[in-house]
Amino acid sequence: MEKSVHDNFIVGYEVQCERREVRLFTEYRDGGKLERTVVVFSGVEAYTFRYDCMGNIIFDIEEVSAESIVSARQAEFAEGHRLSGWPRFWRDSLDEVYKYLREQETRGFELSSSYGMDGWVIARSMEIREDDRVA
């Protein structure tokens, strides 16, 4: 059974640029029970988190196609690439972008919140596992 992060608090996140990895550190707090979980996105091509209110509660992380994220944010990607080179995968045509993302075996993940931060990640994989860091 896959671990769930529904109703988990986001207690922190980190980006490892050279490893192309994003980690969300979460806690489920219910009735004195505390479960620490880490969500690891690997092979990250691009991501955006917004509305971080320093007390975020996850509703869901849903897998979607990378193409659907690109399609919904075409103008943002084109402008970001023109201004700063973000995202690195941007090309002259959407067909070239989609081809690259398929070749890299990317997937899309949308983070929705019950409270606070939401966003998306385009990455090769997402894994939800127990957070074994010392608190």
119 pLDDT above the threshold of 60: yes
CB under 8 Å to 6, separation ≥6 — which residues?
58, 59, 60
Q: Cβ-count burial of 61 within 10 angstroms (0-12 exposed, 13-18 middle, 19+ buried)?
A: buried
DSSP state of 17: T
DSSP string, 101-119: HHHTT-EEEEEEEEES-EE
Q: What's the pLDDT band for 63 if we cut at 50, 70, 90?
A: very high
1 pLDDT above the threshold of 60: no
CB under 8 Å to 12, separation ≥6 — which residues?
24, 25
Chain segment 29-56, per-residue pLDDT in tens: 887 788 999 999 999 999 999 999 999 9
Q: What's the pLDDT band for 2 if we cut at 50, 70, 90?
A: low
Which residue is associated with the tokens 């103008």? 75
- Tokens in use for 96? 């070239």
Chain segment 67-109, per-residue pLDDT in tens: 999 999 999 999 999 999 999 999 989 999 999 999 999 999 9
More confident residue, 26 or 3: 26
Least Cα distance to 46 among 10, 11, 12, 74 occurs for 74
